């Protein structure tokens, strides 16, 4: 049985957050032993957008976690490799730490900010689809790893939470390689589970006070959810978070993969009661609960594998595009180029991984289905 600690939290007021984090952590059984240990605090730092964007873990949540680690005698070290559109350099980290509020957290608590951009290959002999990963040095050197994830939707994996947050231990520009290799989201999700089993996150805390709905993980909209969740299982925490926003966990490939491997069984929520968020907007790639027949499930499976017919395709919103080239750098299939200062897509090469949409801070990339795709989407909802 997996235990998930649940605490209501109505705002990012410092005292309210500290109370909620402590309640959720204690309900989940408490932090792992940290006294005298180097504790990696691995927040979701997808980009350099501020906390109000709901793209990154809120600094008040990270501050509360650092405070608990310090009080327990551990040394917190904040580190992450931001989204694949960013170079993994000390200069990039400095900018992201400042804009995300992590620099202020470190200054106020005494936590260490890591600027170590080293990495090395680590064997993963028990992996299902991956046998080696390149992992950032701070994750390799930590005695304890505590993940601080953000509740968000995700156009490719449908959901972004604890399991997806671990992908941040892969150096920035190495990430598109995985999208190129694992085009099918089922395979990509198996890779994420392999990575989580290799890294072995010791504890995870989710910022679900304000999550992201719609077409996340960057292009969605903030949505008040009002919770902090905690667990020693990344899979169990994601299961509870998916229920919170009205998703069917069996439709989330990472959760389904964890179940198949025997990594997730019964989930018990302790603390406050989870009340599903009303009118939470799910991503356009999510087909809804499997409420119909075997025929519907068969159609859904075939359409998801068909990809180009069913999946939305990226399109440029010309008036918003600033020609920054971030989408060009991140595209694993080199399907984007800049033409007259605007992004231009070669949809014949596009694999619908949505990395471009994920990293576009100008929100200049829309996702739309063709006529046949929209008809199929309507039929299987």
pLDDT at 326: 87
Q: How confident is the model at residue 290 (pLDDT cuts 50, 70, 90)?
A: very low
Q: Is residue 184 pLDDT above 50, yes or no?
A: yes
Q: What is the pLDDT of residues 363-372, one digit of tens each?
A: 999 888 765 5
* 3-class secondary-structure state, position 29: coil
Q: What is the pLDDT of residues 303-358, one digit of tens each?
A: 555 555 557 889 999 999 999 998 998 899 999 999 999 999 999 999 989 899 98
Q: Is residue 292 pLDDT above 70, yes or no?
A: no
Q: Is residue 285 pLDDT above 90, yes or no?
A: no
Percent of the chain residues topping a pLDDT of 70: 91
Mean pLDDT value across residues 262-285: 97
Beta strand residue intervals within the chain, DSSP E = 2-8, 38-43, 75-78, 112-113, 119-123, 132-136, 144-154, 158-160, 203-213, 221-231, 267-271, 313-316, 336-339, 342-345, 365-368
Residue showing tokens 């519907």: 296
Q: What is the DSSP letter of 111?
A: P
Q: How confident is the model at residue 291 (pLDDT cuts 50, 70, 90)?
A: very low
Write down the mean pLDDT value for the chain.
Answer: 91
CA 363 to chain centre: 18
Q: What is the pLDDT of residues 26-85, one digit of tens each?
A: 999 999 999 999 999 999 999 888 888 999 999 999 999 999 999 999 999 999 999 857
pTM over 0.75: yes
Q: How confident is the model at residue 381 (pLDDT cuts 50, 70, 90)?
A: low
Residues 88-125, buried b or exposed e (16+ Cβ, 10 A)? beeebbeebbebbbbbebbeebebbbbeebebeeeebe
Higher pLDDT, 94 or 376: 94
What is the total residue count of the chain?
A: 381
Percent of the chain residues topping a pLDDT of 90: 79
Angstrom CA distances, 200 to 20, 163, 204, 233, stand at 25, 11, 11, 9
Q: From 208, 169, 241, 289, select the one nearest 20 (Cα to Cα).
A: 208
Q: What is the pLDDT of residues 216-272, one digit of tens each?
A: 999 999 999 999 999 999 999 999 999 999 999 999 999 999 999 999 999 999 999
């Amino acid at each position: 049985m997996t235990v998930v600690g649940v605490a209501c939290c109505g705002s990012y007021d410092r005292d309210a957050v500290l109370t909620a984090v402590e309640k959720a952590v204690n309900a989940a059984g408490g932090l792992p032993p940290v006294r005298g240990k180097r504790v990696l605090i691995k927040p979701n730092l997808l980009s350099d957008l501020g906390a109000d964007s709901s793209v990154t873990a809120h600094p008040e949540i990270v501050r509360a976690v650092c405070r608990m680690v310090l009080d327990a005698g551990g040394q917190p070290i904040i580190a992450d490799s931001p989204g694949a559109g960013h170079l993994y350099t000390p200069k990039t980290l400095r900018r992201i730490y400042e804009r995300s509020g992590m620099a202020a957290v470190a200054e106020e608590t005494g936590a260490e900010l890591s600027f170590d951009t080293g990495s090395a290959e680590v064997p993963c002999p028990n992996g299902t689809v991956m046998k080696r990963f390149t992992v950032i040095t701070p994750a390799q050197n930590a005695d304890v790893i505590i993940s601080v994830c953000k509740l968000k939707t995700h156009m490719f994996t449908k959901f972004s939470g604890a399991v997806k947050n671990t992908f941040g231990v892969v150096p920035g520009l190495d990430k598109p390689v995985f999208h190129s290799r694992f085009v099918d989201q089922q395979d990509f999700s198996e890779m994420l589970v392999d990575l989580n089993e290799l890294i072995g996150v010791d504890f995870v805390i989710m910022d679900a006070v304000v999550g992201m709905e719609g077409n996340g993980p960057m292009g969605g909209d903030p949505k008040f959810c009002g919770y902090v969740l905690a667990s020693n299982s990344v899979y169990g925490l994601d299961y509870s978070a998916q229920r919170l926003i009205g998703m069917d966990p069996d439709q989330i490939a990472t959760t389904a993969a964890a179940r198949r491997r025997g990594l997730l069984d019964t989930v018990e929520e302790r603390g406050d009661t989870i009340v599903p968020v009303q009118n939470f907007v799910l991503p356009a790639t999510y087909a809804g609960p499997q409420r119909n027949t075997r025929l519907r499930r068969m159609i859904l499976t075939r359409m998801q594998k068909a990809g180009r017919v069913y999946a939305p395709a990226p399109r440029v919103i010309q008036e918003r595009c600033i020609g920054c080239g971030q989408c060009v750098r991140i595209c694993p299939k080199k399907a984007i180029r800049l033409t007259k200062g605007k992004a231009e897509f070669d949809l014949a090469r596009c694999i619908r991984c949505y990395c471009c949409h994920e990293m576009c801070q100008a929100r200049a990339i829309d996702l739309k289905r063709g006529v046949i795709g929209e008809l199929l989407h309507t039929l299987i909802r």
